[in-house]
Amino acid sequence: MRLRWLLVVVFSAASAFAEATSSAGSVPPAIAPPPGLTQVHEFRLQGAMLERMSERHTGLEGIRSVVVRRYAPSSTRRSRPPIDREALARSLREHYTPQMQALKWVPLVQDDIGARQGAAYTSPDGLWLFAFNTDSKGAVTTLVEGQVALYQMPDLERVIVHSLGHGRNMPSEEELRVSRQAQDLLKSGRADKAVELLQDQVTKRPDSVALRLSLARAYDKIGKKRERVAQLKAAIALDPAAYGLRLEYGRALMSVSDNQEALFQFEQAAALAPDRATPSYFIGCVYQGQSEYEKALKAFSRASDLGGERWPSLAMRQGEVYEKIGDRRAAERLYRRALEIRPGYEEAQQALARLRAGG
């Protein structure tokens, strides 16, 4: 999906945004979702993830948050009939126009060119932009908080396009078949054959996330760490909103000591799934490896608060950090905690023995 129409919006909106003044703590507008459609994907760019991306893309400066939602017809996905985009666009305009009028938002531009159909609105103070459009999969809405100037749009558009283009990248039956075949080869000890099969299939289907992920795991089996990283990087480019991929890519980066990029991937995973403990756990692992112990403990504490308190590996990691900073009592307590969760945990037993020996 492309959102070039959004660039047209900004040509009309530039003057409105140019005079906008910032206001901290603004409340997101209450905009009802479209009827008859089901939300199938949401991408949020805000907080730490936005800050890190703003460091790399100066065009995002001044933007506080971006929320993109994809909607699909509320029928079984496999049996869904083709979407009548003109009818859907009309329905969306009928749904959103009264809401925008009630909010006193200003219409900017409508796009009826070819198959691209949408509309956009700005708040009276110029601090919010809301837009919707249709494509072959359904409808997409975008809500941007912040002052958006013309020069920023290429970066903002890339973020939105990446978040939606493959946000629900479902493998085909053929891709699943090839992945299973490769897995059988790996289990039977024929890793080279698995890699050869997957390399050929990725060449034929370069846009397949599933095949690139399978190839990355095959490379990992034969110790080709850099090749694994390259395939996961390509998969992330195809599906940047995939939480699990972010985690796997981050771990692969750690295996080749690219800790800063790994940290960035884990932070993005945390932004995609703020209620999950795993990203914070790995953020803590990165900081621990860099001897940034205070940051490590904060990340581990966040992971514990999010549900990781029953993970023996988390208690073990926390104990190691406390041991490093000289708090032997806290370290012992956490090593014992790890043993309570997993009786016979050898690493915890060794750590307690080391403490008793004064090591």
pLDDT tens digits, residue range 133-192? Answer: 887 677 888 888 887 655 555 556 555 554 444 344 556 778 889 999 999 999 999 999
Q: What is the mean pLDDT of residues 4-23?
A: 38
String of b and e for 76-88 (b: at least 16 CB within 10 Å)? eeeeeeebebeeb
Distance of CA 217 to the CA centre of its chain: 20
Say which residue, 118 or 217, is predicted with more confidence: 217
Q: Using one digit for the tens of pLDDT, what is the confidence trace for 135-146?
A: 767 788 888 888
- Which residues, 6 or more positions from 323, have their beta carbon under 8 angstroms from its beta carbon? 331, 351, 355
Which tokens hold the place of 2?
Answer: 């492309």
Whether the CB-CB separation of 111 and 8 falls below 8 Å is answered with yes
Q: What is the mean pLDDT of residues 217-241?
A: 91
Whether the CB-CB separation of 38 and 158 falls below 8 Å is answered with no
Q: CB 91: neighbour CB atoms within 10 A?
A: 17
- Output the pLDDT for position 8: 38
Q: Which domains does the chain have, with CATH numbers?
A: 4-165 (no CATH), 169-240 (1.25.40.10)
Q: What is the mean pLDDT of the chain?
A: 80
Say which residue, 80 or 96, is predicted with more confidence: 96
pTM for the complete prediction? 0.57
Range name among 102-116, 126-140, 235-249, 256-270 with the lowest pLDDT average: 102-116
Q: What is the mean pLDDT of residues 230-245?
A: 87
Q: Specify burial of residue 350 (Cβ count, 10 A radius: 0-12, 13-18, 19+).
A: exposed
Query: Could you tell me the pLDDT band of residue 76, with boundaries at 50, 70 and 90?
Result: very low
Q: How far apart are CA 280 and CA 275, in angstroms?
A: 10
Long-range pairs, 216-222, Cβ under 8 A, ≥24: 216/248, 216/252, 218/182, 218/186, 218/191, 218/194, 219/195, 220/252, 221/186, 221/191, 221/194, 222/191, 222/192, 222/195
Q: What is the CA radius of gyration of the chain?
A: 24
- Output the pLDDT for position 66: 84
- Which residues, 6 or more positions from 207, have their beta carbon under 8 angstroms from its beta carbon? 238
